[in-house]
Amino acid sequence: MAKSLLIVSRQSPWSGPGAREALDIVLAGGAFDLPIGLLFLDDGVLQLAAGQNAKALQQKDLSANLQALPMFGVEELFYCAESANARGLGQLSLDEAQPLSAEHITALIDRYDQVITL
Amino acid sequence: MSTLHVLSHSPFGDDRLNSCLRLLGSADALLLSGDAVYALQPDSAPFFALHDKKIRLFVLLEDIQARAIEVPEWAEAIDYPAFVELSIHHDKVNSWL
Amino acid sequence: MKFAIALFSAAHAPSSRRALLFARAALADGHEIVRLFFYQDGVYNASDALVTPQDELDLPKQWRTFIDEQKLDGVVCIAAALRRGALNTEEAKRYQRDAVSISAPWELSGLGQLHDAVQDADRLICFGGA
């Protein structure tokens, strides 16, 4: 049975390549049909803020890639509820992402065979 | 199941330590390396937070020596062979990059 | 125990040196390293172009020696490398660039190699950040 891998994405969308390069690991894993999960934590939840405009910074819009995750077989999508609340995030742009409490995140990390927090 | 969490950023002006402590499981351990060892600066908020949390706390010996910080008796200073052992003892390693 | 070691920080970052020391300790303890995977700024550890003063720690050189002597699989993520201007001869030719900074024993390959290593290993250890 394949080992499962949880990617914890903690970078905001426009602070450098972090958000994009975390997502690339997820997409590559999905393309290989591996059991991959993605958790948005701390500033990582800002990637899910609605109404962002990548063009204003001449950057690539990651939201299309995020929306495509289920198509790549990545359906285990989560975000830290506390991180989102602390940042005043109301409506999120990714319907499939489930909010988790700290306790549930601890259990989530436990559940996966390996984890990369970047 | 248990996880070895590894931190390497200074806890001052960085939220990794706080987030890590929020998510630490009861069987988990924490290794402070690099600037994260500054969390053991006596009389600092991170110092008190770590003391109160009562976790399995490890600190990389070379980093605490370089910074001339004392290792409190509730933490254990380890070398690289022990770091390898620790990574095997726990089911996985979560480095907060 | 089989280890996969992934490095995300540049050679000047303390975490890069820690990765090397951990890798050495793992082998010294009789364990196996299935792959070293360099991602994000970690690609710079594989660069031939870094010049280190004689009295300082030359980490890229130490990585190269380590990989050569221990016959390890050292993989650099191609997408991360290209983005950071770390090219081998093949990629420099493909993109018509004069600068070649990645050479054997380093291999440029995709994230599939990271996933492959994660599947093969008992433990994945990541180093990076600071």
Query: Residue A95: what pLDDT?
Result: 86
The gap from C-alpha A76 to its chain's centroid, in whole angstroms, comes to 9
Return the closest-CA partner of residue A82 out of A33, A45, A112. A45
Tell me, what's the pLDDT at A91? 80
Closest chain B residue to the Cα of C25, Cα to Cα: B81
Contact state of B94 with A117 under an 8 Å Cβ cutoff: yes
The answer to whether residues A37 and A4 touch, using CB atoms and an 8 Å cutoff, is: yes
Q: What angle do CA B17, C37, C115 make, to 5 degrees?
A: 90
Closest to B19 in 3D by CA, of A12, A110, A82? A82
Task: Report pLDDT for A41.
Answer: 98
Q: CB of B10 within 8 Å of any CB in chain C?
A: yes
In chain A, what residues touch C83 (CB-CB under 8 Å)? 17
Question: Is the CB of B1 less than 8 angstroms away from the CB of A82?
Answer: no
Which partners does chain B have (≥3 C-beta pairs < 8 Å)? A, C
Q: Write down the pTM of the prediction.
A: 0.97
Report CB contact under 8 Å: A28, C83.
no
Q: Report chain A's C-alpha Rg in angstroms.
A: 13
Task: Give the torsion sign (CA, A114, A115, B3, B4).
Answer: positive
Largest CA distance in chain A: 44
Q: Which CATH number fits domain A1-74: 3.40.1260.10, 3.30.460.10, 3.90.1150.10, 3.65.10.10?
A: 3.40.1260.10
Structure tokens at A17: 């390549």
Identify the bridge partners of residue B3 per DSSP, sorted by sequence position: B92
Q: For C2-127, which CATH superfamily applies?
A: DsrEFH-like (3.40.1260.10)
Q: Which of C80, C119, C126 sits opposite A116 (nearest CB)?
A: C126
Which of A2, A17, A25 lies at the smallest CB-CB distance from C114? A25
Across the interface, of C40, C124, C126, the residue whose CB is closest to A17 is C40
C126 is catalytic: no
Q: Give the residues across from C6 on adjacent strands.
A: C37, C126
Tell me the C-alpha distance between A17 and A38, whole Å: 17
Residue A82 has a pLDDT of 96
Tell me the CATH number of domain B3-95, given options 3.40.1260.10, 3.40.50.2000, 3.30.70.1560, 3.30.450.40.
3.40.1260.10
Contact flag C111-A17 (C-beta cutoff 8 Å): no
Q: What phi, psi does C107 have (nearest 5°)? A: -120, 130
Contact A38, A77 (CB under 8 A): yes
Beta bridge partners of A116: A7
What does residue A74 show for φ and ψ, rounded to 5 degrees? Answer: -100, 105
A-contacting residues in C 46-85 (Cβ below 8 Å)? 79-80, 83
* Radius of gyration, CA atoms only, chain B: 12
Q: What pLDDT, on the 0 to 100 scale, is given for residue A1?
A: 92
pLDDT value of position A114 = 98
d(CA C9, CA B91): 24
Quick count: other Cβ atoms within 10 Å of Cβ A95? 8
Predicted confidence pLDDT, tens digits, chain C (130 residues): 999 999 999 999 999 999 999 999 999 999 999 999 999 999 999 999 999 999 999 999 999 999 999 999 999 999 999 999 999 999 999 999 999 999 999 999 999 999 999 999 999 999 999 8
Q: What ipTM score was computed for the predicted complex, to two decimals?
A: 0.97
Cα-Cα-Cα-Cα dihedral sign, residues C116, C118, C119, C123: positive
Partnered with residue C127 across adjacent β-strands are C7
Q: Which residues contact A44 (CB under 8 A, 6 or more apart)?
A: A8, A9, A10, A11, A12, A19, A22, A79, A83
Chain CA centroid to CA A108, Å? 14
Catalytic residue among C77, C87, C102, C108: C77
In chain C, domain spans: 2-127
**Closest residue by Cα to residue C5 from C45, C29, C38:** C38
| Residue numbers in A near B20 (CB within 8 A) | none
Q: Which of B23, B28, B87, B92 is best to mutate for the A interface (most A CBs within 10 A)?
A: B23
Question: Which of C6, C112, C119 shows the shortest C-beta gap to A28?
Answer: C112
The residue-averaged pLDDT of A20-35 equals: 97
- The CA distance from A88 to the nearest CA of chain C, in Å, is 27
- The tens digit of pLDDT for each residue in A59-97 reads 999 988 999 999 999 999 999 999 999 999 988 888 889
All residues of chain A having their beta carbon less than 8 Å from the beta carbon of residue B23 are 102, 105-106, 109
Query: CB–CB of A21 and C114 under 8 A?
Result: no
- Looking at chain A, the whole-number percentage of residues with pLDDT higher than 90 is 88
Distance CA(A63)–CA(A60), nearest Å, equals: 9
**Contact of C18 with B34, CB cutoff 8 Å:** yes
Q: Which three-class secondary structure state does DSSP give residue A8? A: strand
Task: For residue range B58-90, list pLDDT tens digits in order.
Answer: 999 999 999 999 999 999 999 999 999 999 999
